Amino acid sequence: MKVIFPGSFDPITNGHIDIIKRASFIFDEVIVLLMENPSKQYTFSKEERILMMELSLKNMKNVKVDWGTGLTVNYAKEHGVSILIRGIREVMDYKYEIQQATINMLMDGNVETFFMLAKPEYSFLSSSATKIVAQNNGEIKSFVPREIIDIIYKKYR
Ligand code: ADP
């Protein structure tokens, strides 16, 4: 079975990667889907985010990187996928995620959202925390794979 892990990945972090890895052990294929929302401001361009996703996930055989715009459920329908994976870190995520999953359910009753709990060691980790630390020249090597560290620091130089 194929699943989609949608997100902004601005940038991808070890927290995302852990969810992707765990999902890749359970499902046949994981599509890590960068959803581009034209009304949202991103720090990294779409190309930079995709490059960082590809560099971070290159060793995972059944993981594919793609991008889309519009509704995730439409992408899912077009690609014959009926499961979306989302990660939950804490109560704030839960509140936001049930809202999103309910909207998706109303739009397409055939698409299910599966939630995976963050590992405790990643429950603090977010793309925004990574950026704040990098911007202030802090150490981000436990936040993101080493392949993408320079791309992140370069943004703030
Ligand atoms: P979005 O803008 O769609 O929330 P993100 O890239 O911020 O995109 O997150 C994508 C998914 O990854 C979300 O379900 C989010 O809760 C989850 N996620 C983010 N950081 C972590 C983490 N450290 N551990 C587990 N899941 C995470």
Catalytic residue, chosen from 39, 40, 95, 142, is: 40
From the list 1, 5, 42, the residue with the least C-alpha distance to 21 is: 5
Q: Are strands 83-88 and 63-69 parallel, antiparallel or unpaired?
A: unpaired
pLDDT of residue 20: 98
Pocket probe mutation, ligand 1, options 10, 89, 92, max atoms within 8 Å of Cβ: 89
Given a cut of 90, whether residue 157 has pLDDT beyond it is no
| Token pair for 35 | 């959803």
Contact 127, 144 (CB under 8 A): no
Catalytic residue flag (residue 16): yes
User: What confidence tens digit (pLDDT) does each residue in 47-74 have?
Assistant: 999 999 999 999 999 999 999 999 999 9
* Atom 22 in ligand 1: residue holding the nearest Cα: 15
3-state secondary structure of 56: helix
Rounded mean pLDDT of 70-81?
97
pLDDT digits (tens, 9 = 90+) for 14-33: 999 999 999 999 999 999 99
79 is catalytic: no
Active site residue 46: no
pLDDT digits (tens, 9 = 90+) for 95-138: 999 999 999 999 999 999 999 999 999 999 999 999 999 999 99
The H or E element containing residue 36 is: strand 29-36
In the predicted structure, residue 92 carries a pLDDT above the cut 90? no
Residue 49 near ligand 1, beta carbon < 6 Å: no
Q: Give pLDDT, residue 79.
A: 98
Which residue's alpha carbon is at the smallest distance from atom 27 of ligand 1? 87
